[in-house]
Structure 1
Amino acid sequence: MIKYIVDWYKEKFADPHVVTLTLFILIAFALLYYVGNLLMPVIVAVALAFLLESPVQRFANFGLSRNKAVVIVMLLFTGIGLLTILGLLPVLWQQTSNLISEVPQMLVQGNTYLLTLPEKYPDLVKVEQIDTVISSVQDKLLVWGQIVLEASLNSISDLVALLIYLILVPLMVFFFLKDKVDMLQNATRFLPKERRLTTQVATEMHQQIHNYIRGKVIEILIIGVASTLAFVLLDLRYSVLLGALVGLSVLVPYVGATVVTIPVCLVGLFQWGISPEFGYLMLAYGIIQIIDGNILVPLLFSEAVNLHPVAIIIAVILFGGLWGFWGVFFAIPLATLVKAIINAWPTSEDKEATLSEA
């Protein structure tokens, strides 16, 4: 057994390029695992720099210097971001507060409706079953209430962290864009010369991550705006809040759309009941989901992601469990990185082909 392990080690790690790639992976994973929360503003800034690199290049193609192009892009990005925050956040806050204040009334309506079911369907529904459901829902609400209370007590620290993000992240994005070439040259000075596989993986991932982040932002904007407009036209309550939730749900493939369907259905049911208006809401919501899954996703990510659905779900669970929201957001790029490493890793057939050519 020991001899087999030793032989395997000698076979796989005889190539210094493999050793370099392995050390790079281990160091990167250790940094993300142990100090990932501290480095998250840096990671977010790098992701935004990836996203803004394309418009910087386009302005540079018009004859502007890179520094001027970076300044123009950062001014546009900051202005649009401030307008979005100042215009959208107050509405979201107001609708969230209104929804929370109406939850007790919704619960009363829901209990009243459930208590009528044994009378309407005595052969299918029993009073004891309804009582069990109501008590279970009440217990869950108590747990959620405690979570909301704890979150509100921690809101001050969260607000401070948000302010740090709003100040530090744009600054880092500016310097990442402005000094990109110098930073990359300085970073390569500390890398070993035997880094062919590492360069291969980095080159493959550079374009894929850029395409993914850009496509995901476009998808969130399109689905969020389309959902909000549809909800407003249907006169659905909390239309902006629900539209934003539907837009953000695309961050989690397959699962997000399923989860966000629950609040959309519940709000529609409490507002209209089982009626034609509720049917129109579900029809519009279904059309948006069909357009997202069958048109937007293939159009935006056809060249960026080529992963099996099971691999995507596992990546969302794994990286989301490790790093929360940002782990979910970067789950697909990280899964693509794992795939690129596996594809670049030399196999026995590759070594035999190299020896035969030599």
Structure 2
Amino acid sequence: MILDSGRWFWLVVSGIVVSLLYLLAPILTPFLTAAFLAYLGDPLVDRLETWRLSRTLSVTTVFLVIFLFILLFFLFLLPVLETQVKLFIGKVPAYIDWVVNVLGPYLHEHFQVDTSVLEVDKIKSVITLHWQETGGFIRNAIQTISKSGFVVLGWVANLALIPIITFYLLRDWDRMVAYIDDLLPRSIEPLVAKLATESDEVLGAFLRGQLLVMLALAVIYSLGLSLVGLEFALLIGLIAGLVSFVPYLGLIVGVSIAGIAILFQTQDVFDLFWILAVFGVAQVIEGTVLTPLLVGERIGLHPVTVIFSVLAGGQLFGFFGILLALPVAAVLAVIMRHIHDTYKRSHIYTIDGLEGEELTNYPEANDNVLKGQE
């Protein structure tokens, strides 16, 4: 009987899916991580198949490339970043002293600002003690995991499951999509297929396009700042690149941090020119090469939507919610766009089939509206 009522059927299905996601959230993290990696890698697999490689060989190639990059990150990049963070935190007290000694007299003379109220010594001691207590990223992770044998087993199991699940999802991705499409009721299949295609374009524009732009900018910033001679080039370049999904935020953050760092390091104001040159060249490369090539004219997720989705997902479901946030946001964005278009074509928005722009050409329609209101 429930199958005869479409609304009740989909209501029950939606309720079951949401309940299962909520209850199984603690164990779904490796599956969502693997699905994320498989989603990123599937276009590459399809591209290799067009070169007359078998599906299995294409999947194996992409699979090895993905996990090679992940392995290189954890073996080489993460320790270097941790070292730079330690050096940067160690020099923060000196940075604070430099700012107070250089800007303090100027602020006091022109704006009557008393820098003593900032209690600089307490700020420096808090930063130093906090870093000494927390230690590095890797050591903290090892200490946290080693507190419980079950936690160790859970982490090991998740790390072992991710590559296995990723491989099988990559191999059967197209088959699963076709299977889901075949299960859809024929009456709604065209609409669902259209929404799914648009959702894939929106999500792909951000994940496959914008993420590549962010990583490319991080590399360009890091190399450019290294050539300038900045001590924390890798750390600052990575931060500026990762926040560049918000337009101009990466530029502002990168120039601000790098500018302060180079002034403290060399005490030469003219070195700011080289910092501006690095970020200026990077912006030109992004606008003329990276964005047109990697993102194109596709419309991805709005930066504010990305920020809100990630924060909301983390608040509701933890790390599992962070992984699920962007796909859900992409689907909701497409659905809201479809609802908006449907509303603009509905009789609620139009008058006798005439849209708002056409009413100016038909004064009698406005007269009818006024008569109806009377």
| TM tier, smaller | 0.7 to 0.9
Which residue identity is paired with 2:94?
Q
Q: Distance in 2 between matches of 1:66 and 1:254?
A: 41
Aligned to 1:339: 333
Q: Percent identity?
A: 27
The secondary structure found in structure 2 opposite 1:122 is: helix
Aligned to 2:72: 83
Post-superposition shift, 1:235? 0.4
Change (3 A) 1:107 1:53: same
Aligned to 2:51: 62
Q: Distance in 1 between matches of 2:103 and 2:315?
A: 36
Aligned to 2:263: 269
76-85 vs 137-146, which moves further: 137-146
RMSD: 4.2
- Is the 1:305–1:336 Cα contact (8 Å) retained in structure 2? no
Q: Distance in 2 between matches of 1:31 and 1:251?
A: 32
Q: Deviations over 1:246-286 (max 9, x none)?
A: 22223555655545554333322321235111232133224
Post-superposition shift, 1:22? 6.0
Instruction: Tell me whether 1:223 sits opposite 2:210 in the alignment.
Output: no
1:98 corresponds to which of 60, 79, 87: 87
State the TM-score, normalizing by the size of structure 1: 0.72
- Is the 1:228–1:244 Cα contact (8 Å) retained in structure 2? yes
Q: Distance in 1 between matches of 2:5 and 2:335?
A: 15
Rg comparison, structure with higher value: 2
Aligned to 1:283: 277
- Is the 1:52–1:73 Cα contact (8 Å) retained in structure 2? yes
Aligned to 2:109: 122
Instruction: Tell me whether 1:133 sits opposite 2:122 in the alignment.
Output: no
Q: Distance in 2 between matches of 1:296 and 1:331?
A: 25
187-196 vs 58-67, which moves further: 187-196
Post-superposition shift, 1:204? 2.3
1:44 corresponds to which of 33, 39, 43: 33
Which residue identity is paired with 1:177?
L
Change (3 A) 1:296 1:323: farther
- Is the 1:20–1:192 Cα contact (8 Å) retained in structure 2? no
Change (3 A) 1:23 1:245: farther
161-170 vs 333-342, which moves further: 161-170
Q: Deviations over 1:280-329 (max 9, x none)?
A: 21332244246446763455334432566655554455446546788678
Instruction: Tell me whether 1:177 sits opposite 2:162 in the alignment.
Output: no
Aligned to 1:355: none
The secondary structure found in structure 1 opposite 2:111 is: coil
Q: Distance in 2 between matches of 1:19 and 1:114?
A: 67
Which residue identity is paired with 2:211?
V
The secondary structure found in structure 2 opposite 1:265 is: helix
Higher RCO structure (Cα 8 Å, ≥6 apart): 1
Post-superposition shift, 1:207? 3.7
- Is the 1:20–1:195 Cα contact (8 Å) retained in structure 2? no
Change (3 A) 1:316 1:183: closer
- Is the 2:81–2:235 Cα contact (8 Å) retained in structure 1? yes
Change (3 A) 1:89 1:314: closer
Post-superposition shift, 1:75? 2.4
Pairwise mapping of residues 233-252 of structure 1 onto structure 2 (< 5 A)? 233-251=227-245
Aligned to 1:208: 202
Change (3 A) 1:29 1:76: same
Q: Size of the alignment, in residue pairs?
A: 334
